[in-house]
């Protein structure tokens, strides 16, 4: 299957700082990327849908000014958690699709805010 | 997208077949059944999908009932590395349109040595 690479795999940051997470489709062009968040022992929750060249669509309850998404190319989307706080500590996962029936997921980023 | 119901957990002996059920009684005609799994602290991995016919690939088999209201994912010879949360997802495939996957709580499969 297609490969989606997420970087970094884990990050620890101080409260109040910003963290950028990258999601790359390595062998296909991803017209759409999705960002999910997963808290311990819970399922994945969709945060936003990112389309190349246009503004991301955020799910209800997700602050667009806090979670900045940029999808500047067909192979890269970034999620920036601004002014991170301990409650933002979570497992962030991206997925990418070229419009086919399958969605491919990155390996996830474990964010810990201290 | 139709709602799915899965048992919260199942155990399976190593080397035996693991049969994971999923109920999707409100599925509509254009909705596919997808299965993904998530090994601890990793991103979900696609396993298989189907519309109404049974499907098989190198990872698993998918059996969909004739009325399409339920399905079973079969891992023919489970190994310890198959221990994961398995998600059954129903979603319409709209040709070139990309749609997100909505994850339920899934089934925690534990393969026992």
Which residues of chain A does B3 touch, with a Cβ-Cβ cutoff of 8 Å? none
B53 and A CB contact within 8 Å? no
Assign A94 to helix, strand or coil: strand
Task: Give the C-alpha separation, A31 to A55, whole Å.
Answer: 13
Which chain A residues contact residue B51 at CB under 8 A? none
Residue B34's DSSP bridge partners are B49, B89
Rounded CA-CA distance A43/B102 in Å is: 10
Across the interface, whether the CB atoms of A6 and B43 are under 8 A apart is answered yes
The predicted structure's pLDDT at residue B7: 97
Structure tokens at A109: 């980023």
Cβ–Cβ under 8 Å, residues A93 and A38:
yes
Say which residue, A65 or A52, is predicted with more confidence: A65
Q: What is the DSSP letter of B5?
A: B
State the pLDDT at residue B96: 46
User: Over 60: is that where the pLDDT of A79 sits?
Assistant: yes
- pLDDT in the model for residue B1: 67
């Amino acid at each position: 299957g297609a490969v989606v690479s997420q970087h970094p795999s884990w990050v620890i940051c101080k409260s109040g700082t910003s963290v950028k997470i990258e999601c790359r489709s390595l062998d296909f062009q991803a017209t759409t990327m999705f960002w999910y968040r997963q808290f311990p022992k819970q399922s994945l929750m969709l945060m936003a849908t990112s389309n190349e060249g246009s503004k991301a669509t955020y799910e209800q309850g997700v602050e667009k000014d806090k979670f900045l998404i940029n999808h500047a190319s067909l192979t890269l989307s970034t999620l920036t958690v601004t002014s991170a706080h301990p409650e933002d500590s979570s497992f962030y996962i991206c997925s990418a699709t070229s419009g086919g029936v399958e969605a491919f997921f990155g390996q996830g980023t474990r964010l810990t805010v201290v | 997208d139709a709602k799915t119901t899965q048992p919260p957990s199942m155990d399976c002996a190593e080397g035996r077949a693991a049969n994971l059920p999923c109920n999707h009684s409100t599925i509509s005609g254009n909705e596919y059944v997808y299965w993904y799994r998530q090994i601890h602290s990793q991103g979900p991995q696609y396993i298989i999908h189907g519309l109404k016919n049974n499907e098989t690939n190198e990872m698993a088999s998918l059996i969909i009932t004739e009325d399409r209201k339920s399905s079973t994912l079969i891992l023919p010879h489970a190994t310890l590395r198959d221990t994961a949360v398995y998600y059954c997802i129903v979603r319409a495939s709209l040709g070139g349109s990309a749609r997100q996957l909505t994850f339920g709580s899934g089934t925690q499969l534990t393969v026992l040595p």
